[in-house]
């Protein structure tokens, strides 16, 4: 059962996203689907793109620290990404911590992506390619899914869209965890709570948890072309920059944008802004070329 703190943060995050976007209920909108998962069906939502036959199918993992986001909090953004790219988008309702700690969310995302890759024609037309996308914790899940991919999923995977992704544990010495400890919505303390909730008491240095830290992977060279952004006022800023460097050193074609005046959440949670519009346009154009 979720703690009182978790329930309060989930209600707050959903309200803030509603206030920013005024999106209707995702559950009242056409597009609800189910995908097979390791512990029963995984809910998802399909957004049909107007140029889907010429575009890859996008699988989207929402942010919210693996704890507070859901299909509703990212309903408006997923529709906007669908419209900007012309591609169909499938948003995944993976199981959240703390009720379902690591590696459950990663297992759900991998299983859902594998099913989509195998059955992609069930969701309408596409060009045969797949792109994984996500913001924050969702960007983390996109990276982890790509690193775990094999078979038809790996064959179809042609891109990663990573919006200020989580890539490492908060105990690592990234200066932005000090520079941006407070003063914006995502604080260092809140990021620590997210990680602690996700790992559920597991040791971040143990061999069993290393799959949770994509920047530490020895298989980065196997990843597809990627596009990543960071925000200036974000505890995750420096690990995102380090991820760009690691991808490029591994030989992965990596596009990068930095939004120095924005904070974490500008792209998906805070409503329209110039930086939101710029990143959405950039992602839409990038996806259209996959």
Question: Which residues are identified as catalytic?
Answer: 136, 234, 264
Instruction: Count the neighbouring beta carbons within 10 Å of the beta carbon of residue 46.
Output: 20
Examine residue 210 and say whether the peptide bond preceding it is cis (omega within 30 degrees of 0). no
What residues contact 256, with CB distance under 8 A and at least 6 apart?
A: 227, 228, 229, 230, 244
Counting other chains too, the contacts that 74-78 makes at CB distance below 8 Å and 24 or more residues apart are 74/17, 74/135, 74/138, 74/268, 75/21, 75/23, 75/24, 75/25, 75/26, 75/29, 75/45, 76/17, 76/20, 76/21, 76/22, 76/23, 77/21, 77/135, 77/267, 77/268, 78/45, 78/47
Instruction: Count the neighbouring beta carbons within 10 Å of the beta carbon of residue 258.
Output: 14
Across the beta sheet with 42-47, what order do the strands follow?
A: 32-35, 42-47, 89-92, 57-61, 130-135, 157-163, 226-233, 254-263
Instruction: Count the neighbouring beta carbons within 10 Å of the beta carbon of residue 234.
Output: 26
């Amino acid at each position: 059962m979720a703690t009182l703190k978790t329930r309060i943060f989930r209600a707050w995050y959903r309200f803030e996203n509603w206030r920013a976007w005024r999106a209707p209920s995702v559950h009242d909108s056409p597009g609800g689907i189910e995908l097979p998962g390791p512990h029963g069906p995984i809910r998802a939502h399909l957004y049909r793109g107007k140029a889907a036959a010429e575009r890859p199918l996008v699988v989207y993992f929402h942010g919210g620290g693996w704890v507070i986001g859901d299909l509703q909090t990212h309903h408006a953004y997923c529709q906007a990404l669908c419209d900007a790219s012309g591609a169909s988008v499938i948003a995944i309702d993976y199981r959240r911590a703390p009720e379902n700690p690591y590696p459950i969310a990663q297992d759900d995302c991998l299983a859902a992506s594998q099913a989509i890759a195998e059955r992609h024609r069930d969701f309408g037309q596409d060009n045969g390619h797949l792109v994984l996308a996500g913001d924050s914790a969702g960007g983390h899940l996109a990276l982890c899914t790509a690193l775990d991919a094999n078979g038809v999923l790996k064959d179809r995977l042609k891109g990663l869209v990573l919006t200020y992704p989580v890539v490492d544990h908060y105990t690592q010495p990234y200066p932005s965890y000090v520079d941006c400890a407070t003063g914006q919505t995502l604080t260092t303390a809140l990021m620590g709570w997210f990680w602690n909730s996700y790992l559920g008491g597991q040791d971040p240095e143990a061999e069993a948890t290393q799959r949770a830290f994509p920047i530490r992977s020895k298989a980065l060279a196997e990843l597809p072309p990627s596009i990543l952004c960071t925000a200036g006022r974000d505890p995750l800023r420096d690990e995102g920059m380090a991820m760009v460097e690691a991808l490029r050193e591994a030989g992965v074609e990596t596009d990068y944008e930095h939004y120095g005046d924005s904070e974490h959440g500008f792209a998906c949670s805070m409503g329209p802004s110039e930086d939101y519009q710029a990143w959405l346009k950039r992602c839409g154009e990038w996806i259209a070329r996959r």
